[in-house]
Amino acid sequence: MKRLATVTVAAVMAAAPVMADLVFPSLSYRTGAYAAGGIPFADGYADYMTLLNERDGGIGGVMTRILECETGYNTEKGVECYEATKGEGSLVYQPLSTGITYQLIPKVTADNIPMHTMGYGRTSAANGKVFSNVFNYPANYWNGASLVVNHLLDLNGGDIKGKKVHLVYHNSGYGKEPIRTFEELAKKHGFELTLLAVDHPGQEQKSQWLQIRRERPDYVTMWGWGVMNAVAIQEAANIKFPMENFIGVWWSGSENAVLPAGDGAHGYKAITFHNVGSDFPVFGDLAKYVVDAGKAAGAGDQIGTAIYNRGFYAAMLAAEAVKNAQKIHGVADITPAMMRDGMEALEITEAVMTDLGMPNFGPSFKVTCENHGGPGTGAVAQWDATNKKWSLISDFSGSDMSVIQPLIDADSAAYAAENSMETRCN
Amino acid sequence: MFYRESGDFSETYPADSQTFPIKFDRYRYYAVLVVAFLIIPFIVNDYWANAILVPFLIYAIAAIGLNILVGYCGQVSLGTGGFMAVGAYACYKLMTAFPDVSIMFHIFISGGITAAVVTLFGLPSLRIKGFYLAVATLAAQFFLVWLFNRVAWFYNYSASGQINAPDRAVFGHLVTGPNTDAWAKYMICLVFLTFAGIVARNLTRGSLGRKWSAIRDMDIAAEIIGVNPLSAKLSAFAISGFFIGISGALFFSVYLGAVEVGEAFGIQKSFLVLFMIIIGGLGSVFGSFAGAAFMVLLPVLLKNVLVGGLGWDTALAAHLEFIIVGALIIVFLIAEPHGLAQLWRVAKEKLRLWPFPH
């Protein structure tokens, strides 16, 4: 009997330290029409956390734990995943789906858990005065729209009056978000905007591309995701649309979007808010501690691809926010509320990124109570089909905040009014 | 042994024609009501309410609605997703336009609006039947989704086309929005489901239900014996639409809180509800419950067993889930083409004789 008691106590003692960990829920989608984007992001996110565990022994001495839950890009499963994971001390949600984001915005705010929607979600969440728990640094859709237009301005010496621009977009909340910004920019710069909606899942785009072929726009831009990207690029190649005039948002700028079209995709462009490729010191550590140890997430074949890098970058920003929260509150095992404070006071400088082995990987920025959106900078990447790699063809530059900020203010004010909320940070 | 009617005498006509004439059945029904109303609300937590019970209750209402149309009246419909969207958007417009009116009225009125829309799309049923009607309702599905995507008035001109449910309370308790307690969400859905179940059960065994069945079994014969196909078919569309509208309104306001029409109310939803009633049992109120439970609970159960219990890879578990649910549907339908309700009926028959079968 005594021995049993000893064993039990020992078991409890051994089990207890496991309780202290930093839980990062990963609402991933490795199945369905959008898995092509979901898999690399989830792999990148998990691999960075594994790297921290293996190389540094976690963050501030506390191990990280990825809690993966399959959503299939479906909002109902997203709810199930949120409810299943929120009780486990989940620090920050990154659903990688605009639909699920919209659903979780009120929920995370009520449960006081932060959510980071990097380059997607509700754009006006950049206004921290209204959205206390939602962050979308370093860039959002409206920055993306502006960056596309800025690139067109660069190509045309600053004048795109009368040019025809077609927007091929996913007919959902995600695809519709940038339309308002494009319309404002069209007014400002005098280009003609035509909207072409593609319905879920996006395999059927013949009529849209027939219209493009008939109307011969000067530029085509795309807000696509999942299988829609590859189909659009293939269709563009089929109608011999000049690829250098076809510019996708960052979610349309992945390897699996361009590879199926082969040489036809050569010259296709996409904007991005972080760097591309695996030519960074941190990838050496990744190979040593994670890949060679057989601990890579998924099939381990996505490393260095555009969306893998985005997941990796998202995990890096989350880990930095954890460090920040640990510093602010002086506790190693932080709570979601502390994590929120860490995110709101996050400052990423070039020195920080160089220390992490990711020099020039993303922009330097500082999050404040008012601004949850970061600087909104980005660059243009171009696909080289012969060498099968993306390369940046421009520097990271800012977007037109004189157009975007009023839109953010208007949309967040509408949300605050709808939900009769007080503004913060006063 | 347990399940027999010997000694169970009816002395009045109402006693004989009540919904559950067998005492054992009746007590079981009361027991279910007691558990659902008096026990579950006190023990339910967020996960059980949001991930399991609320979707089950809401899909059960939709399945009852569709079962009236397909199971009782024999009019095949593939427009359920679009009709639920009508309920959801009607509810959203009412909630934002009349914030002072109770959400209970909004949900009822959304049901009424959906009933009107569904009746309109039911008009072709007077001329076309079977597969052709299915195609006509399929057109309704695509048209309605397109409409709610296209006309910005329906989503109050928001940037993304999403609709969000504001906070609304019933008797001082929030039932929509993020601060809602688990039990309140559960209760409002349960109240509507109980209402839908009782109304559907009594309608289908009354004269209206008999007219529907007559139309389903042979519409020419029904016409000859004096059933007016116009009123019978359109009443089935209207009542079915009423329930589907209520389920759509609850789906949006109570369950999800934010929806996007293409994603939440696409053709997938129409098929899902149709599968529920086929697996549960066409022409049976119990079948609607059983089918909804099967399609909602099984994937969640499998996920929890495979990922939570066995610690498998989430993607592998998701794929296996499809395979297992698909295989079970086939097995059930081969074993009993009339669905889970028929299995239950057969089980009851066997239990009456058990342990001394013929």
**Nearest chain A residue (CA) to B47:** A83
**Are A303 and A278 within 8 A, CB to CB?**
yes
In this structure, are A228 and A181 located in the same domain? Answer: yes
Q: Identify the DSSP state of B338.
A: T
B255/A contact by beta carbon, under 8 A: yes
Question: Chain A: residue nearest B56 by CA?
Answer: A76
A206 shares its domain with A338? no
CB B227, CB B208: distance < 8 Å? no
The answer to whether the beta carbons of residues B89 and B276 sit under 8 Å apart is no
Chain A: closest CA distance from residue B175 (Å): 14
Give the other-Cβ count within 10 Å of A287's Cβ: 14
CB of A136 within 8 Å of a chain B CB? The answer is: no
Q: Are residues A154 and A169 in the same domain?
A: yes
Q: Is residue A9 part of a domain?
A: no
- Using an 8 Å CB-CB cutoff, list chain A residues near B162: 99, 102, 173
Give yes or no for a contact between B288 and B60, defined as CB atoms under 8 angstroms apart. Answer: yes
B142 interfaces chain A, CB cutoff of 8 Å: no
- Residue A8: predicted pLDDT: 44
CB of A107 within 8 Å of a chain B CB? The answer is: yes
| Inter-chain touch A106–B257, beta carbons under 8 Å | yes
The A residues from 67 to 106 touching B (CB cutoff 8 Å) are: 68-70, 72, 74-76, 79-80, 83-84, 86-87, 98-99, 102-103, 105-106
Model confidence at B353: pLDDT above 50: yes
Nearest CA in chain B to A106: B178
**CA distances, B346 to each of A272, A290, B85, B339 (Å):** 62, 57, 37, 11
List all residues 6 or more positions away from A386 whose beta carbon is below 8 Å from its beta carbon. Answer: A263, A266
pLDDT number for residue B1? 56
CA nearest to B53 within chain A: A80
DSSP string, A50-114: HHIIIIISSBTTB-EEEEEEE-TT-HHHHHHHHHHHHTTTB--B----HHHHHHHHHHHHHHT--
What's the pLDDT band for B263 if we cut at 50, 70, 90? confident
Say if residue A300 is in the same domain as residue A236: no
Whether residue B55 is preceded by a cis peptide bond, meaning omega within 30 degrees of 0, is no
The mean per-residue pLDDT over the stretch B36-45 comes to 94
Nearest Cα to Cα of residue A315 among A66, A19, A70 = A66
pLDDT at B2 (0 to 100): 65
Q: Which residue of A has its CA nearest to B262?
A: A172
Give the gap in angstroms from C-alpha B47 to the nearest C-alpha of chain A. 5
* Beta partners for residue A170, in sequence order: A198
Assess B10–A contact: CB distance below 8 Å, yes or no.
no
Q: Report the residue from A80, A110, A123 with minimal CB separation from B51.
A: A80
Residue A14 lies in a domain: no
Cα-trace Rg, chain A: 22
Does some domain include residue A30? yes
- Best mutation site among B56, B84, B154, B263 for testing chain A: the one with the most A CBs within 10 Å? B263
A424: in domain: no
Query: Considering its fold, how many domains does chain A have in total?
Result: 2
Query: How many beta-carbon contacts under 8 Å exist across A and B?
Result: 110
Give the residue on A whose Cα is nearest the Cα of B267: A200
Q: Does A259 share its domain with A400? A: yes
Do A211 and A241 have their domain in common? yes
Q: For position B75, what pLDDT does the model report? A: 92
Q: Residue A420: inside a domain, yes or no?
A: no
- Are both A345 and A395 inside the same structural domain? no
pLDDT for residue B23: 83
Query: Inter-chain contact A199–B262, Cβ cutoff 8 Å?
Result: yes
Q: Which of B179, B256, B259 sits opposite A110 (nearest CB)?
A: B179
Based on the fold, state whether residues A28 and A125 are members of the same structural domain.
yes
Write the residue in A39, A171, A411 that is nearest to B159 by C-beta.
A411
Question: Which residues of chain A from 177 to 196 reach within 8 Å of chain B, CB to CB?
Answer: 177, 179-180
Q: Do B167 and A419 touch (CB under 8 A)?
A: yes
Q: What average pLDDT does the segment B285-303 reach?
A: 92
Last residue within a domain, chosen from A343, A367, A391:
A367
What percentage of chain B exceeds 70 in pLDDT?
Answer: 98
Selected residues 14-53 of chain B with any CB under 8 Å from a CB in chain A = 46-47, 50-51
Whether A110 contacts chain B with CB within 8 A = yes
Residue of A nearest to B256 (CA): A103
Low-confidence ranges of chain A (pLDDT < 50): 1-2, 4-18
Comparing CA positions, the residue from A150, A369, A106, A187 lying closest to residue A271 is A150
| pLDDT interval class at B241 (50, 70, 90) | very high
pLDDT, averaged across chain B: 91
Instruction: Collect contacts of A397-402 with beta carbons under 8 A, ≥24 apart.
Output: A397/A147, A397/A150, A399/A139, A399/A142, A399/A143, A399/A144, A399/A146, A399/A147, A399/A150, A400/A146, A400/A149, A400/A150, A400/A185, A400/A188, A401/A376
Q: Are A339 and A325 in contact (CB under 8 A)?
A: yes
- Average pLDDT of B270-295? 93
Q: What are phi and psi of A220, to 5 degrees?
A: -120, 135
pLDDT of residue B24: 82
CATH number for the domain harbouring residue A326: 3.40.50.2300
pLDDT in tens, B167-177: 888 998 899 88
A182, closest residue in chain B (CA to CA): B159
Looking at this protein, which amino acid is placed at residue A191?
A: F
Please give the Cα distance from A51 to A47 (Å, whole number): 6
Rounded Cα gap, residues A378 and A313, in angstroms: 14
Q: With an 8 Å Cβ cutoff, is B162 touching chain A? A: yes
Tell me the nearest-neighbour CA distance from B67 into chain A, angstroms: 23
Structural domain contains residue A63: yes
pLDDT at A291: 93
Compute CA A296 distance to the chain's CA centroid, rounded to the nearest angstrom. Answer: 20
What is the C-alpha to C-alpha distance for residues B160 and A121, in angstroms, rounded to an integer? 10
How far apart CA B162 and CA B242 sit, in angstroms, is 24
A372-396 burial string, b = 16+ CB within 10 Å, else e?
A: bbbbbbbbbbbbebeeebbeeebeb
CA angle B214, B219, B222 (to 5 degrees): 50
Determine the structural domain holding residue A258 and report its residue range.
Answer: 141-276+378-405
Please tell me whether residues A118 and A151 are part of one structural domain.
no
Q: Which residue of B has its CA nearest to A175?
A: B160
Nearest in space to A361 (alpha carbons), one of A105, A98, A135, A44 = A44
Q: Which residues of B touch A171 (CB under 8 A)?
A: 149, 262
pLDDT of residue A225: 92
Q: Both A151 and A239 in a single domain?
A: yes
Contact A226, B288 (CB under 8 A): no
The reply to whether omega before A114 is within 30° of 0 (cis) is no
Averaged pLDDT, B201-226: 94
| DSSP labels, A302-343 | -TTSHHHHHHHHHHHHHHHHHHHHHHHH--SS--HHHHHHHH
The more confidently predicted of residues B191 and A2 is B191
b/e code B123-160 from CB counts within 10 Å (16+ = b): ebbeeeeeeebbebbbebbbebbbebbeeeebbeebbb
> A-chain residues within 8 Å CB-CB of B166?
418-419
Interface contact B255-A79, CB threshold 8 A:
yes
C-alpha B285/C-alpha B292 separation (Å) is: 11
From the list A75, A111, A411, which residue is nearest B264 (CB)? A75
- pLDDT for the residue A217: 95
State the residue for tokens 């009709």.
B83
User: What is the number of alpha carbons within 13 Å of residue A115 lying toward its C-beta?
Assistant: 32
Contacts of A364 (CB under 8 A, 6+ apart): A348, A349, A350, A353, A375
A-chain residues within 8 Å CB-CB of B258? 75, 99, 102-103, 105-106
pLDDT for residue A342: 94
- Chain B positions in Cβ-Cβ contact with residue A174 (cut-off 8 Å): 160
A11: amino acid identity, one letter: A
Q: What residue in B sits closest to A70 (Cα-Cα)?
A: B314
Is A348 within a domain?
Answer: yes
Asked if A168 and A78 sit in the same domain, the reply is: no
Q: Do A173 and B300 touch (CB under 8 A)?
A: no
Of residues B149, B256, B262, nearest to A103 (C-beta): B256
Six token digits for residue A344 = 């709101």
pTM of the model: 0.91
The predicted pLDDT at position A7 comes to 43
Q: What is the DSSP letter of B153?
A: G
Same domain, A352 and A310: yes
Work out the average pLDDT over B312-333. Answer: 88
